[in-house]
Amino acid sequence: MSVKFGDPVSVRNESILDYAESALFDGYYEPPISLEGLAQSTRANSTHSSAIFAKRNLLLAVMQIKSKDLLSRKDLKNFILDFRTFGNAYLNIIRNGFGKIVKLKHLPALYMRREEDLESHSFRTSNQTVYYPPGTVWSFNEYDVTQEIYGVPEWFATLSAVWLNEDATLFRRKYYMNGAHSGFLLYMNNANLSDKDEEEIIKALNSQKGLGNFKNLFINGKGKDTDKTKPELIPVGKIDARDEFLNIKNVSKGDILTAHRIPLELMSVVQDGFNTSTDLNKVDRIFYKNELLPIAESLIEVNDELRIDLLDINEYQAVE
């Protein structure tokens, strides 16, 4: 029995960088960018994914839930992850018969849409639609300067680096997977080969499927080359071109880390060209003050907007 994996394929299904305004469609507003594309980007690059989850975990550690009957730790965790991934996060507000809030449940941002009146929301998948009237959803959005209907993640500008990094990885995978079986010139000097035989050889050489796979060439000297009597495999790839892999990976990785603004020391990441500090307490305190605290202070606005005592911010604790 043999097992064969398919070619490495990009997680991209569309051009997410085709940024547009939020268009009104069938009674609801479409997001200005593909939410599916944003979700797929977290699977395209390990540094990008690690930064999103690291900041989610750090924010979760900062936040204190004062009433776990209203909001579970799991719902807050998913809520923050949605905010870091999409720039939008939603909580379903559940009230009792007297109008008092008794529960807040996380709603997946990937499928949430704002209705035409901008006060209602809907949960839309390919096979169902659930409407949420005004006052039943609390949304937390990263402000976008081009429109006010949906948020856009702060790291959006680094998507080109994410895709470039992924392309470099896929190219290298193709190179090793193809190995000696493709990416070469087959030279023969056989006058006895018929046209049909040559067509079969060419067909076999170019049987590698998939976008970006290496192309093979076939040349038959028809016995005219007296110096060459045996078939030869001549590689056509250039080692210096392949060596750009490391440069592309390092440069794009640096762009990704810059966009997420998480100190390498807190991610346990080593990156060429980036200076690190041996004083983790100093790094951690600055990150807490400049990055985590502003987001946490925005999150606790839910207390005032919903008139409940739900979230608070934990006091800073130094790294031991």
User: Residue 206: is its pLDDT beyond 90?
Assistant: no
CA distance 44 to 63: 29
Q: Tell which wins on pLDDT, 313 or 220.
A: 313
27 versus 23: the higher-pLDDT residue is 27
pLDDT tens sequence across 266-303: 887 766 666 667 788 888 999 999 999 999 999 999 99
* Strand pairing report for 24-25 and 101-107: unpaired
DSSP string, 226-237: TT--S-EEEE--
Instruction: Give me the residue spans of the domains in the chain.
Output: 24-154, 164-242
Task: Report the share of the chain in percent with pLDDT over 70.
Answer: 74
Helices then strands (H, E): number in the chain? Answer: 11, 13
pLDDT tens digits, one per residue of 110-159: 999 999 999 999 999 989 999 999 999 999 999 998 888 999 999 999 99
According to the model, what pLDDT value does residue 197 have?
75
Q: Give the model's pLDDT for residue 198.
A: 75
CA nearest neighbour of 57 among 77, 72, 27, 36? 77
Contact 29, 20 (CB under 8 A): no
| Contact assessment for residue 277 and residue 289, using Cβ atoms and an 8 Å cutoff | no
pLDDT in tens, 153-193: 999 999 989 988 888 888 777 766 665 445 666 777 767 77
- pLDDT tens track for 36-94: 999 999 998 889 999 999 999 999 999 999 999 999 999 999 999 999 999 999 999 99
State residue 14's pLDDT score: 46
Looking only at the bridges linking them, the beta strands covering 184-188 and 217-220 are parallel
Mean pLDDT, range 12-40, rounded to an integer: 77
Average pLDDT score, the chain: 82
